Amino acid sequence: MEKIMENFDDIRPYNDSEVASVIQKLINNKEFINVISGFQIPKLKKFFPLLANILVKNGLKKRLLNIKSIAQVQNQVSTYVKGVLDKSSNGVTETGLSDLSKEKGYLFVSNHRDIAMDPALISYLLHKAKLRTVEIAIGDNLLKKDYVSDLMRLNKSFIVKRSAIGREKLLATKKLSQYIHFAIENGNNVWIAQKEGRAKDGLDKTDPTIIKMFNMGAKTVDENGKSNLKEGIDSLHIIPVSICYEYDPCDAMKARELFEIEKNGFFKKDENSDIKSISAGIEGNKGRIHLSFGKEIIAQESDAVVIASQLDEQIIKNYKLFPSNYLAYEILQKQNPKLGLSLENLELNLDEINSKRAEFDSRMNHFDEELKPFILKMYANPVFRKLDFYKS
């Protein structure tokens, strides 16, 4: 087992034997302390930066130096996530979690709306249910600082080498797949998004390339010596997860990106774009949140497109639509009645939707006019996708 684990040393999460030394390294990292103090006590940091850093470093020592295991890290993270949700949401609900077994590992594949909160919510609910938290697939584009990489790997993250090119990328992709299979075979839970990057337009669709990647590390082969896609996928015990936020704290930032791409053909991120998105996603108002855990995927065929559509069907059909989704849909439908039926002709609880109308209108009034069409589509697209699935 240890020999096999060594094969993944450059991408795997940290283990218990590494926790103490990594925490000590973080506490001694001046850049890390500087960032945390600016985040936790910004006013003091502005006028007395040295004092702010000393206070933060001493506080971290008290809280972290007694942590010696990944399980203890997960307890700390769960407490932190609960605090975040208490401040920034109107509660989290779930369906389907009770159907999961404690006896095997699962690969949770979800839609992707928020960089940090999507996997954090899945782990938080699993932790509450006394199930194993997830190992998190995270792109190396988000790990530009050593202390960020250390933090993520302490929190059970493994690295997706998106920056690799050519043959190196192929080898990295195969190793990633092998690691996912290794983790699942050893009873661990894993999370990965259904496609690379967030669905900034609200259109959730599984990339068949992800399905093919899952199978690259499988041990199953057919009579011709080729990897059997169906058997490889079935061995991962894939659970589709629909993550639904009433409000997206990053909606304006996502809309700005979509606007710039439509206007100029490209959008150039600055070096702090991802950090801003992570911070906004954690701290911003999310309203109500719901996670739907679907049924384990049993591949219908050895075809990546077919398997991707199986995931899509569950993710979309299980998606909980909030009044914010329907109110955005209503505006677009009134602008163009050919898009679909009016709200009155859909079997909905109109009283609940209308009770949120003033809140939604107030939110929309804060956005720049040029961004509003993109934000409306962002909230309405899950409605269109769901209606389309039930038509077919």
Q: What is the 3-state secondary structure (H, E, C) of the chain?
A: CHHHHHCCCCCCCCCHHHHHHHHHHHHCCHHHHHHHHHHHCHHHHHHCHHHHHHHHHHHHHHHHCCCCCHHHHHHHHHHHHHHHHHHHCCCEEEECHHHCCCCCCCEEEECCCCCCHHHHHHHHHHHHCCCCCEEEEEEHHHCCCHHHHHHHHHCCEEEECCCCCHHHHHHHHHHHHHHHHHHHHCCCEEEEECCCCCCCCCCCCCCHHHHHHHHHCCCCECCCCCECHHHHHHCCCEEEEEEEECCCCCHHHHHHHHHHHHHHCCCCCCCCHHHHHHHHHHHCCCCCEEEEECCCCCCCCCCHHHHHHHHHHHHHHCCCCCHHHHHHHHHHHHHCHHHCCCHHHCCCCHHHHHHCHHHHHHHHHCCCHHHHHHHHHHHHHHHHHHHHHHHC
Look at residue 2 and tell me whether its pLDDT is greater than 80.
Answer: no
Tell me what the mean pLDDT of segment 279-286 comes to. 95
Query: Is pLDDT of 382 > 60?
Result: yes
Question: Residue length, the chain?
Answer: 392
pLDDT at 293 over 80: yes
Structure confidence at residue 273 (pLDDT): 84
Distance CA 131, CA 103 (A): 10
pLDDT at residue number 134: 98
pLDDT tens profile 121-145: 999 999 999 999 999 999 999 998 9
Q: Is the dihedral of CA 89, 90, 96, 102 positive or negative?
A: positive
Mean pLDDT over 264-280 rounds to 87
Confidence of residue 150 (pLDDT cuts 50, 70, 90): very high
pLDDT of residue 93 exceeding 90, the answer is yes
Residues paired with residue 273 on neighbouring β-strands, in sequence order:
none
Q: Please give the domain boundaries of the chain with CATH numbers for all domains.
A: 17-68 (no CATH), 70-317 (3.40.1130), 323-391 (no CATH)
Q: Between vectors from CA 327 to CA 392 and to CA 250, what angle results, nearest 5°? A: 95
Q: Enumerate the β-bridge partners of residue 221.
A: 227
Tell me what pLDDT residue 39 has: 83
Residues 311-327 have a mean pLDDT of: 98
Give me the pLDDT at residue 168, please.
Answer: 95
pLDDT digits (tens, 9 = 90+) for 16-74: 999 999 999 999 999 999 989 988 899 999 999 999 999 999 999 999 999 999 999 99
Residue 5: pLDDT above 80?
no
> For residue 51, what pLDDT is reported?
97
Model confidence at 268: pLDDT above 90: no
How much is the mean pLDDT over the chain? Answer: 94
Confidence band (pLDDT; 50, 70, 90) for 203?
A: very high
Give the closest residue to 181 by CA, choosing from 141, 143, 130, 220.
Answer: 220
Residue 270: pLDDT band with limits 50, 70, 90: confident
Mean per-residue pLDDT, 256-280: 90
Look up tokens 């690379």; give the residue. 196
Q: How far apart are CA 211 and CA 192, in angstroms?
A: 11
Whether 217 has a pLDDT exceeding 80, the answer reads yes
What mean pLDDT do residues 287-315 have? 97
When pLDDT is averaged across residues 174-203 and rounded to a whole number, the result is 97
Arithmetic mean of pLDDT, 298-314 = 96
